[in-house]
Amino acid sequence: MSEFQQVVKEGAETVGRKIKRFFLMLLGVALIVGLLFVWVAGWSFSDGTRAGELIKVSKKGVVFKTYEGQINLGGFQGDSGSGITGNIWEFSTTDKEVYQKLQEMEGKKVKLHYEQRYKAMPWQGKTEYFVDEVNIIE
């Protein structure tokens, strides 16, 4: 092998190592950013209670099964274009025990304690409101 071919071969190996290192670093940064996003998205920035008539509760999802529900808060709200609609609040829960309690209370007046998160991951629920406690209103 000539000296020129040797230099070309060493140069190609050096460039290959640098490209490989660049993509590994890029992958590492993307992984860290993704994990940080998932971590921050799970933070709760608000919590409170809402009361109303429990309209429905269901287990939904094709890939990720989540527990979803709706309560009628009472009154009406303006809807752009179609007029006036009921004041419906949608929520999710990740707790199977809460879901089972909600199923028993369907059609009744309930008081729900919730936490509002920045973003719901697909395996957690469809809304940013997560109910963790349910009480029936007598």
Percent of the chain with pLDDT over 90: 33
Per-residue pLDDT, 28: 93
| 17/49 same-domain check | no
| 49/77 same-domain check | yes
Which residues lie closer than 8 Å to 112 by C-beta, 6 or more apart? 49, 50, 51, 71, 91, 131, 133, 134, 135
83 SS3 class: strand
Q: Average pLDDT, stretch 40-67?
A: 86
| 74/102 same-domain check | yes
Dump pLDDT digits (tens) for 96-106.
Answer: 999 999 999 99
Q: Which domain holds residue 17?
A: 1-41
- β-strand pairing of 109-117 with 83-93: unpaired
| 49/112 same-domain check | yes
- On the question of pLDDT at 29 being above 80, the answer is yes
Per-residue pLDDT, 95: 86
Residue 13 · residue 86 · CB < 8 Å: no
| 18/56 same-domain check | no
| 9/66 same-domain check | no
Cite the DSSP H helix spans in 42-120: 96-104
| 52/18 same-domain check | no
| 62/119 same-domain check | yes
Highest mean pLDDT among 52-56, 116-120, 124-128: 52-56
Q: Average pLDDT, stretch 67-84?
A: 76
How many domains does one find in the chain? 2
End-to-end distance of the chain based on CA atoms, in angstroms?
92
| 5/73 same-domain check | no
pTM, two decimals, is 0.68
